[in-house]
Structure 1
Amino acid sequence: MTQVFNFSAGPAVLPREVLLQVQQELTDWHGTGMCVMEMSHRGKEFTQIIHEAEADLRQLMGIPSNYKVLFLQGGAHFQFSMLPLNLARQDDTVDYVNTGHWSKIAIKEARRYANVNIAASSEDRNFSYVPDEAGWKKTANAAYLHYCSNETIGGVEFPFIPDAGNVPLICDMSSNILSKPVDVSKFGLIYAGAQKNIGPSGLTLAIVREDLLGRARPETPTMLDYKVQADGESLYNTPPTFAIYVAGLVFKWLLAQGGVRAIEQRNIEKAALLYETIDASGGFYHCPVDRANRSRMNVAFTLGDESLDDAFLEGAKARELLQLKGHRSVGGMRASIYNAMTVEGVRALTDYMREFASSKG
């Protein structure tokens, strides 16, 4: 396998050990003579795969017994609709915190189904920070409070879990799930697209507190009812079996690394290396995000002279440092350094960044 360092924001790099295991098992899973893609989702083989995946995820995240783990489809985008259809009525108010691109899309979709109150927003400074919770304007009887814990495009991450009081706290955790310990008991529902820290695209996780099940509106499509999915143990219809299988391998890989606490220390090291390189560049590179809210997963930065952007990307590609171009909506650069990105990969990037700055200085 060609060794490159892939900094894509998603679909993102997977652990090399997992890819090699997938390769080894591709045509014959555990002596069955079948690929996982060929198995019945109701057969004993896949039942074993999905049950082990759930058990390992519960261990990694410390998920309490009164929460259901759902393996769903449609990406986090589907959750933007599924959430209000299940937890709010048309005349209910739902609270949203707006910290960037994905928050805005979630808000736009929620407005189709309920009254949206923007409890806080960082739009005044181009989504470069997380608003101080003391200034949030929450609704006392909101159906729920929603936030995105890590904005992938802007590189803004929450350093705290909001206090929602008696209101269910909902989190889009797509891009930093499993990157650090989280107290699941503080949430009503956590959802996450798989394609960043979990596995292939096509799979979405939802971790739902049981008392929030059975609240769907009568007009909610059957497939979008959390209770239907929970009662069917994520097998109401054919799930994304291969993606679940790969996710299960990633969970086992994480456990072998020492779990979420151990991977957090590695993530802290990687992020520190990259941000220190940016900050020490004398303005050649710049990170627009407030230091307290800088993401450990998605490091957004610009070059002081944007006319050098193309040369920077070409040089990076020549070093096999791939997919560093920032999102089209914000430009600049973005290095996504999820769990599977190695310290070696980040060191290769920071070495290149210093050399490039020196050559153009």
Structure 2
Amino acid sequence: MTNYNFSAGPGVLPTPVLTKIKDEFTKNEFTHMSIIEISHRSSQFEEIIASAEERLRDLMNISDDYGVAFIQGGGSTQFEMLPLNFANRKNKIAVLDSGNFAAKAATAATAIGKTAIILDSSKDDKYHHLPMLSPDFHADDYDYLHLTTNNTIEGATYHQDNLPKTTGRMTADMSSNILAEPYDVNQFDAIFAGAQKNLGPAGVTVAIVKKDWLAEQNIQHVGSMLRYQSYLDKHSMYNTPPVFSIYALDLVLEWVQEQGGVDSMYAQNIKKSSKLYDYIDNSSFYQALVDNSARSLTNVVFTTNNLERDQVIAKEAAKAGLFNLNGHRSVGGFRASLYNAQPQEAVDALITFLKKAEKEYK
């Protein structure tokens, strides 16, 4: 029986990457020791971190106008770093509340003394649709607009073609769909993404920031560990970086390149998600929870409209080798995460199981 991991994060990693990590874990021909033993000041690691940045720039078409940093602390730290570094003119940010992590970004900004204004929220609709900017939005009233491109828990996504249009600065949390579909980096002034969903194992967060915007900031009150410039000046080695996580991230980026890049990943992700959504939409037993135009390619959220029955079916799925299908505790139902490394065969196996469950529990 083949097992498949549908976890929302840490998510599935490419099998070739896991194999290479296993083969090289004790030592490899370059380090002559385990990757978790080498110094972050060694020439071997300098090559690894430089490779990771180069690959990311290549895959996302990141120009020299942007700095790239690899930082610890996850998205939760970024919720504080962004306003500390960039909310210094008006001390106020705008947020489109499209889900749990967008709301957390607003709460974090408020906790550190900034004002976070919720412009629109889809909370009353259980985040089944996307909030949008109103025509009377005045970008100059805020330091920036904060956006969560993909809502991991609720399964709604701002795709490139339905991004908010603003004349002001815009930042994005791309943690769960970075490299899964193409975005024009130039439409954002800062982007961050935790690695553990689509880039590699937990432990490192990618930050992409507009250099000229950063240079405008007066952040003398901000500690050096929470300054993006600290990481850019030291090539992400201001302090000891998460060596293993960056090593694994570089391997994942190499794998994405070998698959044909983001456009190829996008095509495969459309194929995978469309197949699953088509089955759900044509079933009288299951129901997708998100409006069609806003559906995520990476986190498919659905239910039988009976939460107890959903839990029973999810347990049966695990027995069949389909793991971590439970929806987030705040939503319930099912969540099938179809990150880049999730093979088409996993979707086929899931649909086969769901058909069987439909016959047994309907």
TM-score class, shorter: over 0.9
Amino acid corresponding to residue 199 of structure 1 in structure 2? G
Shift in alpha-carbon separation, 1:147–1:285, aligned structure 2, 3 A: same
1:265 aligns with 2:267: yes
Which whole-Å CA distance do the structure 2 matches of 1:119 and 1:306 have between them?
Answer: 32
Which whole-Å CA distance do the structure 2 matches of 1:223 and 1:206 have between them?
Answer: 14
Pairs aligned (count): 358
CA contact (8 A) 1:216 1:225 kept: no
The alignment-based identity, stated in percent, is: 41
- Aligned positions of 1:170-319 closer than 5 A: 170-214=171-215, 215=217, 217-282=219-284, 284-319=285-320
Which whole-Å CA distance do the structure 2 matches of 1:330 and 1:124 have between them?
Answer: 13
1:26 aligns with 2:25: yes
Match of 2:329 in 1: 328
Which whole-Å CA distance do the structure 1 matches of 2:257 and 2:272 have between them?
Answer: 19
Deviation for aligned residue 1:320? 0.2
Which whole-Å CA distance do the structure 2 matches of 1:314 and 1:8 have between them?
Answer: 14
Which whole-Å CA distance do the structure 2 matches of 1:155 and 1:51 have between them?
Answer: 33
Which whole-Å CA distance do the structure 1 matches of 2:17 and 2:49 have between them?
Answer: 17
Match of 2:59 in 1: 60
Which whole-Å CA distance do the structure 2 matches of 1:223 and 1:140 have between them?
Answer: 29
Secondary structure of residue in 2 paired with 1:206: strand
Which whole-Å CA distance do the structure 2 matches of 1:3 and 1:31 have between them?
Answer: 34
Secondary structure of residue in 2 paired with 1:40: coil
CA contact (8 A) 1:102 1:151 kept: yes
Which whole-Å CA distance do the structure 2 matches of 1:330 and 1:219 have between them?
Answer: 39
CA contact (8 A) 1:90 1:114 kept: no
Shift in alpha-carbon separation, 1:269–1:211, aligned structure 2, 3 A: same
1:129 aligns with 2:129: yes
Unaligned 5+ segments in structure 1 are none
Which whole-Å CA distance do the structure 2 matches of 1:350 and 1:285 have between them?
Answer: 11
CA contact (8 A) 1:95 1:138 kept: no
Amino acid corresponding to residue 24 of structure 2 in structure 1? E
Amino acid corresponding to residue 298 of structure 2 in structure 1? M
Secondary structure of residue in 1 paired with 2:140: coil
- Aligned positions of 1:110-125 closer than 5 A: 110-112=109-111, 113-125=113-125
CA contact (8 A) 2:70 2:205 kept: yes
CA contact (8 A) 1:145 1:168 kept: yes
Amino acid corresponding to residue 20 of structure 1 in structure 2? T
CA contact (8 A) 2:139 2:166 kept: no
Deviates more, 1:318-327 or 1:136-145: 136-145
Secondary structure of residue in 1 paired with 2:36: helix
- How big is the alpha-carbon RMSD for the aligned residues of Structure 1 and Structure 2? 1.5
Show CA shifts across 1:143-170 (max 9, x none).
11111001100001113222221x2210
Amino acid corresponding to residue 54 of structure 2 in structure 1? A
1:153 aligns with 2:153: yes
Deviation for aligned residue 1:331? 1.2
1:79 aligns with 2:67: no
Which whole-Å CA distance do the structure 2 matches of 1:152 and 1:285 have between them?
Answer: 20
CA contact (8 A) 2:90 2:143 kept: no
Secondary structure of residue in 1 paired with 2:332: coil
Unaligned 5+ segments in structure 2 are none
Deviation for aligned residue 1:94? 1.1
Match of 1:140 in 2: 140
Secondary structure of residue in 1 paired with 2:192: strand
Deviation for aligned residue 1:131? 2.4
Amino acid corresponding to residue 271 of structure 1 in structure 2? S
Which whole-Å CA distance do the structure 1 matches of 2:308 and 2:229 have between them?
Answer: 53
Which whole-Å CA distance do the structure 1 matches of 2:91 and 2:311 have between them?
Answer: 48
